[in-house]
Amino acid sequence: MKLETFDDVLESIRKNPRRQFHLLLGNGFSVSYDPKIFSYNALHEFVKNLKDRDLSKILEVIETRNFEVIMQYLDNFAALVEALGGDSKLKERVENASVKLKKSLLDAVKAMHPEHVFKVPEDQSAACATFLQQFFNTSGHIYSTNYDLLLYWVLMRNDILNHVDGCGRELMSRPCEIQFPTVTSLA
């Protein structure tokens, strides 16, 4: 079976106008905006520069820059320490390191993230919206596993209203779907 290229996928979209096409965006979406901010290397450097003793040692021993893998290792190790009746202080230290790592990743995104929507050049935002529109035009869905606001900003800045951000805005763009209870007067 031949692995499809993205051009093959676009051709499938054109050939199947009634079929929904969905898109899952991962870290590559954000990295394509700016690898100095959103790459695993950039995040790794941010965490390493915190100079936390446990986190530094963990990053040195676990030779990956994939933080999801590191977090899974820490969770597995804490579970093994408990399952094998190991030192509860070691388990607590590993769990604390896991919490610190998660917090430091959020701190990294917060510290390095563009300050506001208008830091993203308008032409980049428009080009991204054009790309995404190919999926929205099929009534497809776009999902993101990212922690940053880039996708949200592209959707808002380019008036792509058919998105769900978890804040209820989708209800404002389709008021006919909101069903309010009927109030009858007792008088």
Render pLDDT for 79-112 as a digit per residue (tens, 0 to 9): 999 999 999 999 999 999 999 999 999 899 889 9
List Cβ neighbours of 95 (8 Å cut-off, separation of 6 or more): 74, 78
What are the residue boundaries of the structural domains of the chain, listed by start? 6-34+116-177, 38-112
Render pLDDT for 129-178 as a digit per residue (tens, 0 to 9): 999 998 888 888 899 988 888 999 998 888 886 666 666 655 665 554 44
Q: What CA–CA distance (Å, rounded) separates 120 from 3?
A: 33
Q: What CA–CA distance (Å, rounded) separates 114 from 96?
A: 29
pLDDT score, position 174:
53
pTM exceeds cut of 0.85: no
Identify the residue whose tokens are 């990956």. Answer: 64
- φ/ψ of residue 175, rounded to 5: -65, -25
Could you tell me which of 157, 149, 148 has the C-alpha nearest to residue 129? 157
Within a 13 Å sphere around the CA of 1, how many CA atoms are in the beta-carbon half?
A: 2
